[in-house]
Amino acid sequence: MSDATAMKERQPLLVVKDLKQHFPIDAGLVFKKQVGAIRAVDGISFSVNAGETLGIVGESGCGKSTSIRSIAQLYKPTSGSIVFNGTELTTASEKDLLLARRDIQMIFQDPYASLDPRMTVRSIISEPLVIYNKRGLLDKPMSAIDIETRVEELMERVGLNKAFKNRYPHEFSGGQRQRIGIARALALSPKIILADEPVSALDVSIQAQILNLLTDLQKEMGLTYLFIAHDLAVIEYISTRVAVMYLGKIVELSKAEDLYMKPMHPYTRALLSAAPIPDPKVERTRQRIILSGDVPSPDKERTGCYFYDRCPNKMPWCSCHIPPMFKISEGHECACWLYDSTDHAGQSMEEAEADALASLRAKETAGSDIGAERK
Amino acid sequence: MNKNKTMPAAAHTENSTDTALLDVKDLKTYFLTDAGIVKAVDGVSFTLHEGETLGLVGESGSGKSVTNLSIMRLIPSPPGKIVGGEIVFEGQDILKLPEKELRKIRGNKVSMIFQDPMTSLNPFLKISTQMVETIMLHNKDVSKKEALERSIEMLKLVGIPSAEKRIFSYPHQFSGGMRQRVMIAMALSCNAKVLIADEPTTALDVTIQAQILELIKDLSVKLKTAVIIITHDLGVVAGMCDKVCVMYAGRIVEKADTDDLYASPSHPYTEGLIMSVPRMDVAHKNDRLFSIEGQPPNVIDLPPCCPFHPRCHKDMEVCRHAYPPTVGVGSGHEVSCWLYVDEAQRNLALEKALADEQHAAADAVQTNARKEAAK
């Protein structure tokens, strides 16, 4: 991290608290009735400090992309709070939201689908500027010439020849298109960039170019990244801190080095051991934890650990108690009962269920309606 | 699981006989398009022995898939055409066989699994129908009942729980990983000698990928199937393959034993490729990734030079004018690069190439002049 970013105040730029994003499942032809919900994101909390990169890693369907779309308010979150730079996004007015979004930009996975094929590179990159200029939301209004120079400047910065500004996306290769996407995201000089698998559609040699570009831009402009990928090596390379997601929950959150040196959650361990390493000698000697089965469907509410079905270290206790985030060390948290101060390994299924029932009753009498929902 | 860890490299060399099971010699597959001739595969040679696992690595467009479609003779023609070379399988040249004979080999002795298991299974037919069809087509004397029994046996072998019931399901009732297992079961149901796996795990998650790779490795030992794995993931190759061919712009640029290739990559492209992948097992501490600059070349009407020279960090004068010969740099380690040719020969080749170019230019001038005169 460069000095410029380290100088910035340590106050978190983005704070997400207990964010839930459920998608309703409807049944019935005429009278639509909600019969259930896909719990894509089921209560995640984290914060992102200015100038750092928070990597989110997980398998497909674990809610990585949904989380950042909820953060950008592309979906209306079911519950929870998202505070960006002091603004609560979930309840913000349209005007406030527009202002906040000037500082939040996105880069998408598929550089073929994320660029309008009928727009020239110039109009793609200048679109955010034109819109914000028209509404008078820029710090100072820009003339057409100002916008033109800004576009050229951006194109050069991301490594595109500015002579290509009148070309259409189909004339570019995948890596170049991703550069166009990055230039568009940089147009409004945002504070944070939400990057949704920006390199997974690219070839290995191009992937390295884009990763280098992103790190250079961060150093230069003090950008903050929320970076999603399913490739663990990419996440390790780019991230300051990493959150591991499973089935809509964060199971482990830690500094990047800690996570890769000392993975605590059984899922993180399995994930790290499953990722192939490009070295035959290492591949031969290392122990692999092969998880059985597939990721379960996120359509039902769970009362126990979300990873219970596939966990190699499961205990009866885990089946009926949702683990909170336990603090392992400074800045390293893990949602697993193995790290609770009391040892649950000896408890039988009956004991665990009795305990779960007792705490449920206690909550019921306290006036909460969780019991009703569980039925 | 630990048993599988006995590295295929050692186990396989003992099994492999001296005669090659599959011998591809100077294969050339061109596509005749309006824009020009696309030399998708231009002189590819490799051999595959019984029980061996061969990796074909390269970026998109390097001709990996076309090579293997050519082996199966599945190139759509027109526009594609296999214009030269030999593919000798068990002493027969596949390219010279009539379609009827070919069908006895394709899907029977040489089988293929594809990247996307959803699009390669028929969504309208039950798994049982699809598997029984395959078996009965290739073994005329098998009854339907026997074929069904064999299918169930295969599904059990690839680890599908309660195979007796699951065989009557439709493809959509399986998850991605399970579908890929069904594909593998189907591909191996006729005792295939060669299994071609075209990016078998690219569409799958890391933990599922580990399961499937482990399965392929396991089966290749158990059934003595030779496997060709096409992939862009250097990690997959490191863990799976005995030998690796690196492809670039339709040609094999380097061929070596896996250990040898990773320990001493000789071609600048291989070197760059290995260095440009972020690795999570080595501390990097803010290093920049090595990146191969530029884009892969357009393979339409490639000039007779090393196609990698514009991106190469070690390029010389001769690289811009002539394609390098293939040189051995160790036991079974071959590389196509001018760096490994001695200087006298290099200069000779350069002179010859320059002279040829001058001739060609002079010819062009003459023909132009003649045309002018004719007018």
| Chain segment B69-79, per-residue pLDDT in tens | 898 888 887 78
**Among B276, B260, B287, B357, which Cα is nearest to B313's?**
B276
Residue A172 DSSP code:
S
In this prediction, residues B134-153 reach a mean pLDDT of 88
Start-end of H helices in B117-233: 117-120, 127-138, 144-157, 163-166, 176-188, 206-222
**Among A20, A73, A14, which Cα is nearest to A42's?**
A20
In this prediction, residues B116-120 reach a mean pLDDT of 78
Element holding A343 (H helix, E strand): none
In the predicted model, is pLDDT for residue A371 greater than 60?
Answer: no
Q: What span, in angstroms and rounded, lies between the C-alpha atoms of A35 and A20?
A: 18
List CB contacts (< 8 A) between B215 and chain A: none
Instruction: Return the residue in B65, B273, B286, B289 with the most chain A beta carbons within 10 A, the one to mutate for interface testing.
Output: B289
Q: Lowest mean pLDDT: which of A8-17, B39-48, B209-218?
A: A8-17
Structure tokens at B336: 């196509």
Q: How confident is the model at residue B163 (pLDDT cuts 50, 70, 90)?
A: confident
Residue with tokens 């037919």, as numbered in its chain = B125
- Residue B286 has what pLDDT? 60
Span between the terminal Cα atoms of chain A, in Å: 50
Tell me if B179 sits within 8 A of B173, measured CB to CB: no
| Chain segment B301-356, per-residue pLDDT in tens | 777 888 888 888 888 888 888 888 888 888 889 999 988 888 888 888 888 888 88
- Residue B243 has what pLDDT? 92
- Residue A342 has what pLDDT? 82
The complex's ipTM works out to: 0.77
- Residue A302 has what pLDDT? 84
| Chain segment A336-364, per-residue pLDDT in tens | 999 888 888 778 888 888 888 888 888 77
Interface contact flag, B238 A282, Cβ < 8 Å: yes
- Residue B11 has what pLDDT? 41
Structure tokens at B42: 């231009």
- Residue B13 has what pLDDT? 42
Residue with tokens 């500027």, as numbered in its chain = A129
In chain B, what percentage of residues exceed pLDDT 70? 94
Interface contact flag, A275 B296, Cβ < 8 Å: no
Residue A54, helix vs strand vs coil:
strand
| Chain segment B7-65, per-residue pLDDT in tens | 444 444 444 445 788 999 999 998 888 888 888 888 899 999 988 999 999 888 888 88
In this prediction, residues A267-284 reach a mean pLDDT of 87
Interface contact flag, B278 A294, Cβ < 8 Å: no
In this prediction, residues A111-128 reach a mean pLDDT of 92
Amino acid at A166: N
Residue of B nearest to A1 (CA): B286
Range ranked top by mean pLDDT from A259-268, A281-290, B309-318, B360-369:
A259-268
- Residue A367 has what pLDDT? 59
**Among B220, B296, B282, which Cα is nearest to B55's?**
B220
- Residue A146 has what pLDDT? 93
Tell me if B234 sits within 8 A of B57, measured CB to CB: yes
Residue with tokens 């040609």, as numbered in its chain = B251
Residue A89, helix vs strand vs coil:
coil
| Chain segment A29-79, per-residue pLDDT in tens | 777 788 888 888 999 999 999 999 999 998 888 888 899 999 999 989 999
Structure tokens at B205: 């998650």
Vertex A109 angle, CA A106 and A115, to 5°: 75
Q: Where are the beta strands (DSSP E) in chain B?
A: 22-33, 36-48, 53-57, 80-89, 92-93, 110-113, 194-198, 226-231, 243-248, 251-257, 326-328, 334-336
Interface contact flag, A276 B209, Cβ < 8 Å: yes
Other C-beta atoms closer than 10 Å to the C-beta of B172 total 10
Which of residues A197 and A345 earns the better pLDDT score? A197
Whether residue A263 is preceded by a cis peptide bond, meaning omega within 30 degrees of 0, is: no
In this prediction, residues B142-157 reach a mean pLDDT of 89
Q: How confident is the model at residue A8 (pLDDT cuts 50, 70, 90)?
A: very low
Interface check for A258 against chain B (CB to CB < 8 A): the answer is: no
List CB contacts (< 8 A) between A298 and chain B: none
Residue A41, helix vs strand vs coil:
strand
- What mean pLDDT, rounded, does chain A reach? 87
Strand A53-57 versus strand A224-229 pairing type: parallel
In the predicted model, is pLDDT for residue A231 greater than 80?
Answer: yes
